[in-house]
Structures are given as C-alpha cells and as structure tokens.
Amino acid sequence: MTEKRKQLVLIGNGMAGISTIEQILKLTREYDITVFGQEPHPNYNRIMLSYMLEGSKQLEDIILNPISWYEEQGIRLYLGNAVQRIDEGQQIVYAADGTSVPYDELIIATGSKPFILPVPGVEQEGVIGFRDIQDCESMMQASRTVRKAAVIGGGLLGLEAAKGLTQLGMEVTVVHLMEHLMERQLDRVASRMLKLELERQGISFLMGKQTAELLGDGQVSGLKFTDGTELEAQLVVMAAGIVPNKDVAAETNIALGRGIIVDDTMQTSVPHISAVGECCEHRGVCYGLVAPLFEQGQVLAKRLAGVETEPYTGSTVSTKLKISGVDVFSAGIFQEEEHHQVLTRQDDWKQTYKKVLLDQNRIVGAVLYGDVTDAAVMDRAVKKQEIMTDELYGQWFGGSTETAGAGIAVEAMDDSEIVCGCNGVTKGNIVSCIQNEGFTTVDEIKAHTGATRSCGGCKPMVEQILSYVLGENYEQGEQKETICGCTDLSRDEVIAAMKEKQLMHVREVMNVLGWKQEEGCSKCRPALNYYLGMLWPEQHEDEKDSRFVNERLHANIQKDGTFAVVPRMYGGVTTPQELKRIADVAEKYEVKMVKVTGGQRIDLLGVKKEDLPSIWAELDMPSGHAYAKGLRTVKTCVGSMFCRFGTQDSISMGIAMEKRYQGLYMPAKFKMAVNGCPRNCAESGTKDLGIVGNDGGWELYAGGNGGIRLRAADLLCKVKTDEELMEISDAFIQYYRETGKYGERTSDWVERLGLEDIRQAVVEDVTQRKELAARLMIVINQYQDPWREVLDNDELRTGLYEPIQIAIEQ
C-alpha cells in the first residue's frame, strides 16, 4: 500500500517561495504541494519589472515558471486567490474564495508591500506603488494620458520606475528626502555620477524634499512639500520603501515584529509554520533584496526535506542597478571611516568609478559605477571578507591581466559558494554541468540551473568558471543567438533542420534536435509551433498546448482573472444588428466595461471564463484576435465613400485586406491601416503595414510602431492598381513570416534586414514577389476561423479550471 504523502502548502507564488519549492523538489518527493498566489500570473521575475515597464520585455519574457511547470511537478495551483486565514490548531488554510486546504507543513512567503506615505491626498486616483505586474500595467495605461509624473523615493526601485516612466514618454521628477541618491548603497561620488547621467537621460530631481500633501480633487494633480513649494504631477509613484506583508499571520499566534519572526531554520514561533523572504524577520533584520531570500529558502528546503543543513545566520547584501546606460554595484560597507583603508579609481572621461574598503587588509565593502565587470568577484570577496592580495589588486586596479585575477578568484571558491544569489546556484552546480553534462556556454548553464536568469549580475562569474574549467577549450566572445537556453541552435539552424528532416511536430523537433529540457520552455515551444506552421501550412496541425492561454481561449486574460472579448469589425465598420447583439451580451453577462479600442472595435471587459462559450455563440461574430501574434486590426478612415478629401475607397480596401489576412499567424502582432488620402487620419505611418491613397494609386509604408518604442514607418513603394497593392502586401507579409524571428515586430525586422533587402524581395524582384504571394495564398485558402473552437472547448465546458483559480491536479 502506497504511503500517503504529507501536505505542503505555500502561501505566496513569488520568487522566494517558489525557489524554496524548487529546492525541496530536488531533495525529496514526500510532499503533495499546493500553492496559493494573490496575482493571476504564474511565478515571474520581479527584478525584471523595470524592463517590462520600459518596454524592453513583455510579460512572457519574465515568467520564471509557466503554468506547465506546476502541472509537470504535480503542484496544485490557485492563482488570484489569496489565503486570508490560517487555523494553526486544525492546520488548515482558508482562501478568499472559500477554498480550504489542510497542511502538514506551511510556508508563508507573502513578500512585501510598498510603503505608502501617510500624507493627505494619498487615497486619490493616480497614486500607485511599484511592486507587481498590475502596477506596471497601471503606469503603462496612465502613460496614454498623463504628461507629468513624480516618483517619491530616490532609491533603487524609484530610479528604475523613473526610467521606465521616461521611456513611456512622461516628464518625470524624482522627489527624494535625502541630499544624494541611493544613500543606503552609494557614496557621494557614485551618487553624483549617477544623478548627472540620469539627468542627461531626461529625469529631473528634487533633492532634500519632504512631501506634506498630495494635491487634487479625487485625481492627483501634484505634490506639496513641507517648505511650501509644489510640483505638478498627474501620476505619483510611491517608491519610498517596502514593508513586510505579514497580514495573513496577524490573526494567529505567530510571533510578529516588523515582519514574521523566524529562527535560523526559518521556523516561526508556531510548529509546522515557516516563513521565507521579504515577509519575515530574522535576527531583527528584514531583507528587501533577492539574494538573501534564496539563501533562506535553501536552509528551509533542507530542513523540510530532512537534510542536514547549516543554519541561516544572515546575509551580507549587495545591490545592482541596471537601467539604460547606467551600471551601478554596491556591496557591504560603502562609507569609509577613519580605520578603513580606501582604494579608489575615478575616470570622469569614461564615467567609471571603483572603490574598495579594507579593514585590516580585509575587503569589507565595494562600490562600482559605469563598469561592473568585477561585481561578482567583489561581491564574493566582501561576503567572505577576503584578504586583499596583489593579484586581486592587479585585477581590479591594474597591474595584472583580468583573466589571471579571475582565475585565481574562481579557483579559490568553495563548491558550496553561491554564484547566482537570485536563484541559489553554487559554483559546484555550475562545475558539475560543465564536467558531467558537457555544457560550454552561459545559455546552457542558464537553461539547466537558472544562473544569470534573473538580474544577470552573475554572468561574468559564470563566464569565469567556464574559462577556469574548460581552459583553452573555452571560446569566449559573442555567442550566437539561440532560440532559448533549451538548445544551442539558432532560429535559422532549427528551421533548416525542420526542412531537412521533415519534422512536423514540436515534440518531434525537440527530441530529434536534442533539446536539453525535454518539455522545452514557454519561449521555445510557441516559437517552434509557429515555425512549423509557417513551413508546413498544409501538413502541420496547430498544437494548442504550445500556445499561451489567450490564444487558446480567444480572449485576453486581465489582471483580475477575467477576460476581454473583442469581436472583429472589418475595417472598423459594423452594423446596427451587430451593435444590438454586443449590447445584449454585455447586459446579459454583466460585462464590467464596454470600451471602444484604438483599433476601431468594441472591447467587452471583465468577462468570466465560464461565460466565454455562450458569449461567442450569442455574438455570432468572429474573434478580433486581440491576443494574437498575427493580424490584429486594419484601421481605416472613411475615404472617398464619404470624405470630401478622400481620393481612394479606404473602407472597401481595408475590409478586403482584413478579411484576406485574418487568422494568419506571424512572428508578432501585426497592425495595418488604410487611408483614403495623404491626410493620414487612420495613422498609417505608425503601423506594421500602412496604406495611403492618392490620386495616382497607393503608397505602402512598412515597419511602423506606435508603442513604447515609437518608430515611423518607411516608404516601401508606390503602386497604381489595387491588384498590385494586394500582391505586394501578400509578398511583404509572407517574407516577414518566413524571415522574422518569433516575437520580433516588423519595426525591429526592417532594421535588422534593411529596407532595401525587403524592397528587393517583395517589390523589385517580380518572380520572388509572386512566389511569396503564392505561398501565402496556400495558408489563406485553408484558413478556418479558430475562434469557434471555444464553443466546444472541453476545458471551459467542464469547468475544470476556474477563471481566477487554476487547480492543476497531479
């Protein structure tokens, strides 16, 4: 008879908690695991929120563990469903929706909350924190209308938020109580250099200012300071600090201080309840950086797995700031006192600064600005309080080669020392991968261990370990761009192999081409599915399990777990009958909001997942694919049909194009516009493919982007007839489908290939143009509306997965 496994419940789906679960799974399989997450997203990299805010990364880029991972590990997952009460006597947790789960062991990893200044006016609209994806989305939404923003707090988080808001096009002012930035991590020299650089990047600063009141009448309009001065702002981001989130423990007998008090094994005062991460307090200290949280998780995982472990005695913290054009690192003590020896080097021409503090020749602190190559080695030296040597001095300040110094530092490391603090990866883990798995690149180590996956600060150390272990066999330098860390193959190599070996399925590709991760990841599986469909449009059957939830359900999941339904309106044109159906559906299913989108359609927001089949059936309209990597919309002006300035029938052409290209899968989302005259009312100049009518025919513009990375479209060509316009459009789209990287917008694709190359292929070389158009027609002719699949979707019909709560059974 199989022995019943113990029940382990984790409250909190963040980096600290899930890292602990990952460590437990490596050590034992004696637990059935249940995870509750307050947000409607799987585990993601909170460190990367600033990159998501500035637009360089999307949500899927920062997901650490996709939904499939929980399923593969047999983890029951509840998303968007916070635990509200713990019955420590009966050992049961109760969630917001009434779900109750018993536990043998409970881990609390609820993280922290932004510190909101207790000043008048703080409850107004437009005042937000910066801790999660919802905050990022709120700021991105605000950027569409807000002109001026203020960030309260000149620390690490505040500066990252300020840079992201600047990238969104706002005028940003950082308000800081102290006289220099990041005063808890940087000395005055590094702080001054940082402030000057950020000012050059467009950020303004008000130093030594204390906020007394937030102005406004329901919507924030500005800040008033204690000195009587004021600052205009329609958005205020609170980044003045964080407080441990101990709410779930407040009604229990768990001992609380500033956070949830734990001992050296992360045990709370109540048996069978542990805490880890920003929510806990250890020896009077609450840590707000990532690395200590993973060190805590390793100790806790070993204890719960019954493995002998050294106690957690605290962490020496380091800080790394990385925003556009600025690299800053700090570890240990950074402000010197009389008994310290100070080693510095400053170069105002190259904007670099290096400082090391010694206490009786032991390294106790370091600051880097501009060049953080030595950050990993310095971080280790500070944590170990190593003796300064001529070799280290030569490496950091000149006099010996960097490679020699790095080799000495790596050689001296114990296998148990952590290299990647973000993911708890030791030197021994990396050496084992190199020696036993044959890994030779950073990407391979990243895919297998997670090292460099988060902040990337450990990459130099990983490279040094590779160099140390492989010796002259290590090929340092620019690595080729692979699809992801699951393979050493580039996009072109994978596609070539698909053609040569006639590979038709995602799992077949991964198996034949020797994928390192048997199941692949959330980055490569959708890409492989797309490339197969592009290569074999008649043979490849689309693999739904390799698509994101939005594409599977034909609706956009929202931050509260509900969905947005966008029926298609060809060219932005609808009928009274369609509008009546939309109104009836919105009223019947209590849709939270009905919004006209920027693509001339109607968005039904706040739809429950179980209502999707009925809503689509009653709308009897095709999906507008607002979620797709493919054609989203074809925006039109009224053109010659109604406008006195119109020279071409833009409505008819827009509808014809939208019907022609709907449902085509492409490397990324694709937006079009058709204008009836050069007045450009449909904004063709910022679309992936924009059409402008004139008296002599049409002009085609390519590679525009109206998002965060604004790019004006390039003039591709001019044509005289509708037939020529359609053929070149066909060829352009197919050339993009065949040569674009998965996830690459046309704005980046045009810059990578060059406009002349694209023009030659789709305009000037008539034979190639017709061949491209013919290949596209094969796909177009076999297209069937996939949105109707939602009507027979077993996942929805059975109610196995609830809209906010996703229960994945083993």
Which residue(s) pair with 746 in the sheet? none
What is the tens place of the pLDDT at every residue in 263-292?
Answer: 999 999 999 999 999 999 999 999 987 778
For the cut 80, the answer to whether the pLDDT of residue 562 exceeds it is: yes
Q: Which of 53-67, 271-285, 628-642, 758-772 has the lowest mean pLDDT?
A: 53-67
Top-tier CATH class for 127-240: alpha beta
pLDDT at residue 578 in the model: 93
For the cut 80, the answer to whether the pLDDT of residue 677 exceeds it is: yes
For the cut 50, the answer to whether the pLDDT of residue 789 exceeds it is: no
Residue 806 CA to residue 609 CA, distance in Å, equals 11
For the cut 50, the answer to whether the pLDDT of residue 191 exceeds it is: yes
Integer angstrom CA distances of residue 703 from 59, 531, 732, 733: 23, 21, 11, 11
In this structure, CATH architecture of domain 548-623+792-800: Alpha-Beta Complex (3.90)
What does the buried/exposed string (b/e) look like for 501-514 if buried means 16 or more CB atoms within 10 Å of the residue's CB?
A: eebebbbebbeebe
Report the sign of the C-alpha dihedral through residues 269, 273, 276, 280, in that order: negative
Residue 322 CA to residue 444 CA, distance in Å, equals 24
What is the tens place of the pLDDT at every residue in 333-386?
Answer: 999 999 999 999 999 888 899 999 999 999 999 999 988 878 878 888 898 899
Integer angstrom CA distances of residue 197 from 202, 646, 729, 786: 9, 49, 44, 50
Domain with CATH 3.90.480.10 in the chain: 548-623+792-800
pLDDT at residue 100 in the model: 97
For the cut 50, the answer to whether the pLDDT of residue 794 exceeds it is: no
Domain with CATH 3.50.50.60 in the chain: 6-111+244-304, 127-240
Task: Report the chain's mean pLDDT, rounded to a whole number.
Answer: 87
Q: Does pTM top 0.85 for this prediction?
A: no
**CATH number of 6-111+244-304, picked from 3.90.1150.10, 3.50.50.60, 3.40.190.10, 3.40.50.300:** 3.50.50.60
- Residue 387: half-sphere exposure toward Cβ, Cα within 13 Å: 3
H or E element at residue 255: none
Q: Which of 513, 490, 482, 488 is nearest to 500 (CA)?
A: 513
Taking residues 581-590, report their average pLDDT. Answer: 94
Integer angstrom CA distances of residue 342 from 333, 338, 365: 11, 10, 10
Helix residue spans in 437-523 (DSSP H): 442-449, 459-470, 491-501, 506-512
Pairing assessment for the beta strands 105-108 and 112-114 based on DSSP bridges:
unpaired
Q: In this structure, how many other beta carbons lie within 10 angstroms of the beta carbon of residue 340?
A: 16
pLDDT band at 787 (very low <50, low <70, confident <90, very high): very low
Q: Is the pLDDT higher at 799 or at 108? A: 108
Q: For the chain, what is the largest distance between any 2 Cα atoms, rounded to a whole number of angstroms?
A: 84
Asked whether 283 and 314 are in contact (CB, 8 A), the reply is yes
pLDDT band at 805 (very low <50, low <70, confident <90, very high): very low
Q: How long a stretch of residues is the chain? A: 810
pLDDT at residue 484 in the model: 82
- Residue 486: half-sphere exposure toward Cβ, Cα within 13 Å: 21
Top-tier CATH class for 631-784: alpha beta
pLDDT at residue 456 in the model: 66
pLDDT at residue 102 in the model: 97
The fraction of the chain above a pLDDT of 90, given in percent, is 60
Q: Which of 686, 726, 724, 683 is nearest to 702 (CA)?
A: 686
pLDDT band at 480 (very low <50, low <70, confident <90, very high): low
pLDDT at residue 423 in the model: 67
For the cut 70, the answer to whether the pLDDT of residue 752 exceeds it is: yes
The fraction of the chain above a pLDDT of 70, given in percent, is 92
For the cut 80, the answer to whether the pLDDT of residue 518 exceeds it is: no
- Say which residues have a Cβ less than 8 Å from residue 322's Cβ, sequence separation at least 6: 328, 455, 456, 457
Which residue(s) pair with 356 in the sheet? 343, 366
For the cut 90, the answer to whether the pLDDT of residue 487 exceeds it is: no
Asked whether 635 and 707 are in contact (CB, 8 A), the reply is no
Residue 381 CA to residue 757 CA, distance in Å, equals 51
What is the tens place of the pLDDT at every residue in 167-189?
Answer: 888 999 999 999 999 998 899 99
Residue type for 248, please?
Answer: V
Residue 785 CA to residue 155 CA, distance in Å, equals 50
801 three-state secondary structure: coil
Q: Which of 47-61, 756-770, 782-796 has the lowest mean pLDDT?
A: 782-796
SS3 content of the chain, % helix, strand, coil (to 5): 35, 25, 40
Dihedral pair phi/psi, residue 415, rounded to 5° = -65, -25
pLDDT at residue 461 in the model: 81
For the cut 70, the answer to whether the pLDDT of residue 804 exceeds it is: no
652 three-state secondary structure: helix
Q: Which of 388, 399, 348, 345 is nearest to 364 (CA)?
A: 388
pLDDT at residue 421 in the model: 65
